[in-house]
Amino acid sequence: MLILVTGGVGFIGSHVVTTLTGAGHTVRVLDALLPAAHRGAPPIPEGVDWRHADVRDAAAVADALRDVDAVCHQAAMVGLGKDFADAPDYVGCNDLGTAVLLAGMAEAKVRRLVLAGSMVVYGEGRYECSRHGVVRPGPREPADLGAGRFEPPCPHCGEPLVPALVDEDAPADPRNVYAATKLAQEHLAAAWARATGGRVAALRYHNVYGPRMPRDTLYAGVASLFRSALARGEAPRVFEDGGQRRDFVHVRDVAGANLAALDAVDGLAQGALRAYNVGSGEPRTVGEMAAALAAAHGGPAPVVTGEFRLGDVRHITASSRRLRDELGWRARVAFAQGMAEFAAAPLRAG
């Protein structure tokens, strides 16, 4: 197949391109090289047709879609950002960009889409109360966070909760601008599928890490922030108490999930969007990740600061059973192996 990969020069997108070409597909890349993630044009694999253009450019998108069989939409502005002033940039890049792409696909009659989604659409993850069963706590109060009370209580009785794995049927509850734009991308893609008879596999990535992450940027996620600090000879700064549970999944496994989804998207119902969590299945705390990375790098031990950011969630870990059962995918890179590799891998200038 000829596959268009938007954002195919970026961190995840470049690994997707490598995986697709390795599987024998022909790849075309559309990437705007946004300065938040790039400090120049990185090398493009031989045989890849690269278009330096923004996904919001309808004419460039139409040209890039010529003769394409499927689209792998990775282009997005990622991370929590600096503050709410970033909102127009997030909405423009993520939602307007997706709308322009989908309109172009409708016109070009391209009916297969793999969408790079995110676990942030869930808000807080799944929690269980000993008295009330599965519950959904609301956003944490600034006063509680400031007092070091980081665990969300049961919204009914105030008792402690036990975090569990979240599955794809959990209600959406985006709690920051980035999360809202990622959920909007799914809604736009679902509307496109219904209108055109297309098929969408939405891959809800959990915390992706690995080689080629951009360094020294607020938009790249916690793993990149810690690795950037170590590259500068500084200790990683861990917010809250370091007990936040996440699912750190290696970027090569994420690229493999994209390949599996492209191979299987024709099996979805016409006009349907099917969501899949993409996680390692090995929940870890942020503190554990920082410690493992620092130890593998040989740098300073992490510092737990007690700082917090409004909009961050406490625990979010994935059940990737649907992806394993339906598409035959499973994570291959173990946590210790992946962190050891990431600790030594060069970061991309961002």
**Collapsing DSSP states into helix, strand and coil, what is residue 103?**
helix
Which residues neighbour 139 within 8 Å (Cβ) at sequence distance 6 or greater?
Answer: 123, 175
Residue of 335, 249, 252 whose CA lies nearest to 295: 335
Q: Which member of 90, 122, 127, 178 is catalytic?
A: 178
Return d(Cα 227, Cα 348) in angstroms, integer.
Answer: 11
User: From residue 282, how far is each of 238, 293, 311, 330, 335 by CA, in Å?
Assistant: 20, 16, 24, 12, 7
Measured between alpha carbons, how far apart are the two ends of the chain, in Å?
Answer: 32
- 8 Å CB contact between 123 and 179: yes
Using left for φ > 0, alpha for ψ between -120 and 50, and beta otherwise, residue 298 falls in left
Q: For the chain, how many residues are written? A: 350
Residue 178: active-site member:
yes
User: What are the residue numbers of the active site?
Assistant: 178
